[in-house]
Amino acid sequence: MYILNRGGKMDFALTEDQRLIQESVRDFMQSKEVATWIKKAETDKEFPHEFMKRAAGLGYLAMTIDPKYGGAGLGPLDAIVAMEEFAYRSVPFSLNILVQNSLAGHAIATFGTEEQKTKYLPKMAAGELFGCFANTEPDAGSDAKSIITHAKKYADKWVLNGKKRFCTNASEAGIAVVFGRTAARARGAPGTTAFLVEIGSELPGFSLDKKEEKVAQYGSTLCEFSLDDVMVAEDAVLGQVGRGWEVCDKTFRHSRIWIAMQGVGVARRAIDETIAYGSLRKTFGKPIVEHQHVAFELAKARVALESARLLVFKAAWQEAEGDSEFVITASMAKYAAGELAEKASCLCYRYFGGLSISSESISSKLHRDAAIIPVYEGASEIQLAIIAKDMLKK
């Protein structure tokens, strides 16, 4: 898709390659095999290893990674076209795809040394190694610079101590991007450093303390872990010492576009399910969707859906073009798509009526899965703050 091509002509069509990506992911996610894995994850609430293995075989675990490291080499626009289709069928499965690609994978691909990229990315692309991104702590969420996990240098080793919280798929990961404080926080200098830590039960000092009992997004795990004198080598530093915030911030800016498209995908599903059910269910002698107030609500949701998707596409296009303004557009997209996901799923829940009280109804599932999207990877309030700050400085 090109928002503006070189000749100055507006073109909102997907390219032929992007249509093929869209169709291939859609076919995969609509398959009976994936439907079985989604159902299994909703029942046992476990990480879908079989799905991820198959996704790896199709090239979906390293979509934007350079082919020299086993990736597919897709551009930002290509990847988010795929992301919408993953999210349409399963929010938690799309989250697993996202964490591997736009968080852990992107951070290593962008800031890693040649040795780090060669060591980790091919295994991540093949589904032999899962990654996670660990910045959030019990007392550091939206204020991401206020982490207290610390790392101290002893000879040629770094020793990490602290606790990380709400880390998606840490229970399955073998490599974690971990942020620790290596200097006091000062104005313009957060004083943090990023480390690549090979986590797991065999790592001395590492403890997986908790897997959250979630009420939604079954099939991805949410974990808390501790680092107690965990020792890593000098070459575990990702990026530069003291510049961890750069790694964290730039990775979140990139991933924000993916989360926004996740919101678009689930919102589109909620609207489609509402129309499908509302076309069959009758009240007062006619289908629900033919009541004007219902039709108007659906029409407003459609406008919001198209608007949010265009913001996501614009942000991805700007990123691909190297336009630094993509950061602001990404915040707009995350805000618009996150809010839409929650509202569209609520609309679906409402118009399914009494069926929504059943945990097995699609309206209930969509409502639960979408509710957290305006919160994670930068809450809506944080996105508004970013947008407002940019407006006021100009």
- Looking at the whole model, is its pTM more than 0.85? yes
Cα–Cα distance between 194 and 247 in angstroms, integer?
Answer: 7
Q: Which two tokens stand for residue 311?
A: 């913001």
Question: Which option is the CATH number for 16-129: 1.10.357.10, 1.10.10.10, 3.20.20.410, 1.10.540.10?
Answer: 1.10.540.10
CATH assignment, 246-393: 1.20.140.10
Contact between 105 and 62 under an 8 Å Cβ cutoff? The reply is yes
Cα–Cα distance between 223 and 207 in angstroms, integer?
Answer: 11
Question: Residues of CATH 1.10.540.10 domain(s) within the chain?
Answer: 16-129
Per-residue pLDDT of the chain (394 residues; tens, 9 = 90+): 545 555 566 788 899 999 999 999 999 999 999 999 999 999 999 999 999 999 999 999 999 999 999 999 999 999 999 999 999 999 999 999 999 999 999 999 999 999 999 999 999 999 999 999 999 999 987 888 889 999 999 999 999 999 999 999 999 999 999 999 999 888 777 899 999 999 999 999 999 999 999 999 999 999 999 999 999 999 999 999 999 999 999 999 999 999 999 999 999 999 999 999 999 999 999 999 999 999 999 999 999 999 999 999 999 999 999 999 999 999 999 999 999 999 999 999 999 999 999 999 999 999 999 999 999 989 999 999 999 999 998 6
DSSP 216: S
Reduce the DSSP state of residue 64 to 3 states and report it: coil
Report CA Rg, the chain: 21
Question: Residues of CATH 2.40.110.10 domain(s) within the chain?
Answer: 132-242
Query: By C-alpha distance, which of 94, 227, 114, 99 is closest to 160?
Result: 227
Cα–Cα distance between 47 and 178 in angstroms, integer?
Answer: 21
Report the topology of domain 132-242.
Butyryl-CoA Dehydrogenase, subunit A; domain 2 (2.40.110)
The single residue of 84, 297, 342, 377 carrying the catalytic annotation is: 377
Q: What's the length of the chain?
A: 394
Residue 84 catalytic? no
